[in-house]
Amino acid sequence: MRIEPIGIIHSTFKNRKDTPIQPFRSNKIGRVEVCKKFRDGLKDIVGFSHIILIYKFHKSRGWRLLVKPFLDDQLHGVFSTRSPRRPNQIGISVVRLLRRKGNVLFVKGIDVIDGTPLLDIKPYVPEFSSAFKVRIGWLTNKISKKKVR
């Protein structure tokens, strides 16, 4: 399998430790620069308030099956977490789309390091992604929406 990045995500974050752990904890604006050859694929994107960024955690070194995630001090299976130290190093972020300028999208709520390779973009559509009667396992009572860094 070969996957070619479709662009680069630019942010103000230069290292892992200073980067917010999820979009809901970030009010930072980022620039999603799509390669010029994929630019026409952005047609109609501005009609969406939110988009899903799919990208590679390119600064992750290796992976573990058991990880201590940001919001806990207990070990959890990596697939029960959003840890960047995962086998295929793939991350997803739902961010607010502010505007488009040519092949660049300006987004709010960025939680990735500057230079992160972009693999795909999809529109966020609640009807396609929402689930009902959701349980959130070990994350129950661990999420506070107050903190934004």
Contact (CB, 8 A) for 5 and 119: yes
Site string for ligand SAM, 113-132 (x = CB under 6 A): x--x----------------
* CA separation for the pair 67, 73 (Å, rounded): 9
Q: CA 110 → CA 9, 73, 136, distances in Å?
A: 9, 25, 23
Site string for ligand SAM, 58-97 (x = CB under 6 A): xxx---------x-----------x-x------xxx----
26: contact with ligand SAM by CB under 6 A: no
- Judged by CB under 6 A, how many residues of this single chain contact ligand SAM? 19
Say if strands 104-108 and 116-123 run parallel, antiparallel, or are unpaired.
Answer: unpaired
Shorter beta-carbon distance to ligand SAM: residue 79 or 125: 79
* CA separation for the pair 41, 77 (Å, rounded): 36
Shorter beta-carbon distance to ligand SAM: residue 59 or 96: 59
Contact (CB, 8 A) for 87 and 80: no
Shorter beta-carbon distance to ligand SAM: residue 87 or 102: 87
Q: Classify 127 as helix, strand or coil.
A: helix
Amino acid identity at 142: K
Segment contacting ligand SAM by CB under 6 A, of 14-22, 33-41, 95-103, 122-130: 14-22
Q: Site residues (CB under 6 A) for ligand SAM?
A: 16, 19-22, 57-60, 70, 82, 84, 91-93, 111-113, 116
